[in-house]
Amino acid sequence: MAALMNLLPAQKTKLTPEKGIVRRWVVFDAEGQVLGRLAGRIVHHLRGKHRPDYSPHQECGDYVVVVNAGKVKVTGGKGEKKIYHTHSGFTGGMKSILLKDRLASRPAYPLEMAVKRMLPRGRLGRQLYRNLHIYGGSSHPHQSQKPVAAEV
């Protein structure tokens, strides 16, 4: 078997140069969408996994704009059960807030956290997170980029 492997030509991995990557602007409408499923689709576009020239170590994804983030839907009673924790770093400095209260105060926060926690940790994840723009309302300032509506 090893002798047979030597006869096969070596396949080279094709890499797209950074300046050869063409990024699109994509708009997602979060109204009525389930939080986790929508976050998964957003990460798919941010990473560029829908492209034929995808490479896991490159930033080759699209710019993503999300509107109506405050109207996202949660299932299984998570509005009453899911708790977001923050800690100041001092003794007794932990604060907890329910998902429904967090949606009322900062509508984009739950979707931001869901997407951020699905991205890879490290330099690439931070770079990809900068390509995400989330708005609680139905308008956004990225009309001049001519964004395309994503199929949901």
Residue 46, CA atoms < 13 Å, CB-side half-sphere = 27
pTM beyond 0.75: the answer is yes
Tell me which architecture the domain covering 22-74+106-149 has in CATH: Alpha-Beta Complex (3.90)
Q: Domain boundaries in the chain?
A: 22-74+106-149
Q: pLDDT-derived band of residue 65, with 50, 70 and 90 as boundaries?
A: very high
Comparing 6-15, 54-63, 123-132, 136-145, which segment has the lowest mean pLDDT? 6-15
pLDDT mean across residues, the chain: 91
3-state secondary structure of 22: coil
Task: Kindly report, residue by residue over 106-144, the tens digit of the pLDDT.
Answer: 999 999 999 999 999 999 999 999 999 999 999 999 999
Asked if the model's pLDDT at residue 146 lies above 60, the reply is yes
pLDDT at 2: 59
The runs of H, that is alpha helices, within the chain are 2-7, 35-47, 78-81, 99-105, 109-118, 123-129
